[in-house]
Each structure stands twice: as structure tokens, then as C-alpha cells.
Structure 1
Amino acid sequence: MVLDVSTVLTWILFVALFPIAFFWLRRAWRIVFKRDFSEVALKRGMPPANPAKFAPFTAVINFVCGIIIVMVIYGVLVLQLEYETWSSTAGVTIWSKFLLDFMLSRHAHPIAWGRKKKAADESASGSGK
């Protein structure tokens, strides 16, 4: 085995799969069993108005992606999957999870189009008196 950049990056990717799977499965556990919605559909660190509404979707995304990563780890260690197979599966899973979380957070925080509400206008103009 030659120690070059490709080998080092391969090992970094493989070792990184362990904490990735742990955090994603732990997040799914917290949402489902502990009813902790503090990390559901965050946008700029702020939760949506009703995080319980989006919690099942976040839990499913985290659980499915976490299980896929665990299966990739199992495949590398026990089944001895080829590099192209496990790295592509892990890469697609990681990117899919990030994109699905991004889409869910944007759906949970809709953009308010049009004019602002009167209450917001009155409080802004009332502070200038």
C-alpha cells in the first residue's frame, strides 16, 4: 500500500463516516423518543413557528441516511466493497441529506411576500416618537 494523497483522503472519508452516522442517528433518536425539536428545520439557527409539524420529516431523513451510512461501514469492513461502490454511496447519501435538510428548512420558513403587516408598521413608526 502506497501512502499518497488519494489513500489519505480515502481513509479520512471512511473514518468520517463513523461520527456522521452517530450524529444523524442520535438526532433521529432525540426527535422520535425524547421529543426534542431544537434541531428541526433550522434556518440561520432559528426554529420554525411549529417545529413539531416538520419533526417527522427530519427524523426520517436522519434515520434513513444514518442507516445507509451504517450499511456502508458494514459493507467496507465485512463485505469488502470496492472503493468506487462505497465512496459513491456515501457521497450521494451525505449530499442528499444536506440537500433534503436545506429544502425542509426553507419549506418550514416561508418567505413573506408583499407588504408588511400593520402591527409591524405601527411598532416601527411608534418607536420614532
Structure 2
Amino acid sequence: MTISVAITWILFLGLFPIAFFWLRRAWRILFKRDFSEVALKGGVPPAKPEKYAPYTAAINLVAGGVAVAVILMIVIGGVAYDIWSAIAGSTIWMKFFADYIVSRNAHASWGKKKAPAAPGDRG
């Protein structure tokens, strides 16, 4: 067994828990209304996580669906390694980037008004 075969199996077997966790997170957000994992930054949710829940749910649902589709393509269709590894790798990276973008927008300070300074405070 060569290193490339081992890495191929690790990527393939890794798709199962990845798809499970992403689809479970989408399920929790959409049906259980659990917003505890929405747009986290440093482990802390934003002030209004329900505002960003649809985006996080959509990201997890699409990414989990693509992961399941890749698994099915491998098992049923016998798709070439180059194709399914590119799809799986791109999906994993794009999901991380999308989650990062949502979390940073949810915690952004550029849209918030600053409190007015107290009289006599030239801080």
C-alpha cells in the first residue's frame, strides 16, 4: 500500500463524519431552532444569531449535500479520484471560507453606532 492510497482512503472515510456534522448542524438550526453554533467568533455567538442563522444553515446544508453526493458518486458511479477529490476538497475549503465570512460579518463593528462622548470628555 502506497502513501497515495492511504491518503485517498483517509479523504474518502473523512467525508462521512464531515457530511454528518454539517447536515446535523443544518438540521439543528432549521428545525430545532438551536442558534448556539451560528456565526461563532472565538467561541462566542453574535448578539442576534437568529439574523445569521439562515446563512449558516444554507452553507451547512449545501456543503453537507455536496459531501453526500460525492460519497454516492464514489460508491455508485465509480468516479475518478481526480474529480471527486477536487469536488470534496473545494467543498471543504469553501465551507470554511463561507463560515468565516458569515462570522466576521455577524461580529462586525463597522455598522454599529458609537456612543456619544460625555460632555467635557476629550478622550
* TM-score where L is the length of structure 1: 0.85
Report the alpha carbon displacement of residue 117 of structure 1 after superposing the two structures with TM.
Answer: 3.9
Paired residue for 1:29?
A: 27
State the AA in 1 paired with 2:27: W
State the distance in 1 between where 2:99 and 2:85 align: 21
The 5-angstrom pairing of residues 1-129 of structure 1 reads 3-111=1-109, 117=115
State the distance in 2 between where 1:25 and 1:80 align: 24
CA RMSD of aligned residues (A): 1.5
Report the alpha carbon displacement of residue 112 of structure 1 after superposing the two structures with TM.
Answer: 5.4
Larger radius of gyration: 1
Report the alpha carbon displacement of residue 89 of structure 1 after superposing the two structures with TM.
Answer: 0.1
State the AA in 1 paired with 2:73: G
SS at 2:47 equivalent:
coil
Unaligned runs of 5+ in 1: 120-129
How many residue pairs get aligned? The number is: 115
Report the alpha carbon displacement of residue 29 of structure 1 after superposing the two structures with TM.
Answer: 0.2
State the distance in 1 between where 2:14 and 2:116 align: 50
Unaligned runs of 5+ in 2: 118-123
Render the CA deviation track for 1:63-113: whole Å, top value 9, x for unaligned: 001000000000000000000000000000000000000000000001359
SS at 2:11 equivalent:
helix
State the distance in 2 between where 1:73 and 1:112 align: 41
State the distance in 1 between where 2:39 and 2:53 align: 8
Identical-pair percentage: 57
